[in-house]
Amino acid sequence: MLKNISFFIGHRGTRIDFDENTLESFEIALKSGANYIEFDVRKTIDNELVIFHDSKVDRITNSKGLLENFTYPEIARIRFKLTNSHIPTLNEVLKMFRSRIKFFIELKSENIGEWVIKTINNHNLLKDCVISGRKLYNLEIIKQSYREISVCYNITKGKDLNFKDFMKQGKDRSLRFIPDLISLHSKMITQKFIEICHKNEILVLSWDFIRYENPFEVIKGLIEMGIDGILFDNYKNITLIKHWLTTINQIS
């Protein structure tokens, strides 16, 4: 039986060798075979949408403080520690990578869903984006208003529907709202979870492989279980997994 996954996602572009969530990290993910780049969106105090994972800028930049307390001109002067790159805006990323790759967008700041959707729509890219978040109700509102965009529920720390309740309601086919995709931490993925998602026509993604001694083998195991996509922390593993899939499918 042929094996494959539909989503080869560069998680924050990549988290290895490059500063995460930068134009350079997105470029290397693209060159390594990703068909989506995943990134996190936050809003500055003057309402600019920028790409950054943490609530504070301290960990990976030359500055300190809560991102939401900075103006965009202040953000524009901040540099990442590893490569001296700048913090990109959502507009900048969509403009630079449109027609080259699709976008997997995680909502980090509160109440920015409509801002993000309007920006995406201004670029005519609704069909090329997945909106991800931990608040299922917010994703439902987005889906009701914009049917052409896909939504992904990050259930690991989900706010409106926890893992246990999802498993029960999914088994009974009693979910009130069905997202297009669900993402779950790699350590929590089970065959049963994948089966219940597929029973409800939900695609399954997994993330966080950076702490494994051999993430390549872990990813292979999840693909064997029938997962639909991986958020790759290391751009090199995208190439390796694609080569592995090509090899085993030729043999079978």
The span from the CA of 38 to the CA of 48, in Å, is: 19
Helix (H) or strand (E) holding 51: strand 49-51
Instruction: Count Cβ neighbours within 10 Å for each residue of 66-103 and write b for 16 or more, e otherwise.
Output: ebeebebebbbebebeeeebbbbbbeebbeebeeebbb
Q: What is the CATH number of domain 7-46+90-251?
A: 3.20.20.190
Instruction: Give the distance from CA 70 to its chain's centroid.
Output: 24
Q: What is the pTM of this model?
A: 0.96
Residue 77 near residue 60, CB atoms below 8 Å: no
Structure tokens at 237: 């593993």
> Can you name the residues that pair with 41 across neighbouring β-strands?
51, 107
Q: What does each of the 252 residues of the chain score in pLDDT, given as a tens digit? A: 668 999 999 999 999 999 999 999 999 999 999 999 999 999 999 999 999 999 999 999 999 999 999 999 999 999 999 999 999 999 999 999 999 999 999 999 989 999 999 999 999 999 999 999 999 999 999 999 999 999 999 999 898 999 999 999 999 999 999 999 999 999 999 999 999 999 999 999 999 999 999 999 999 999 999 999 999 999 999 999 999 999 988 876
Spell out the domain ranges in the chain.
7-46+90-251
Structure tokens at 143: 């889906």
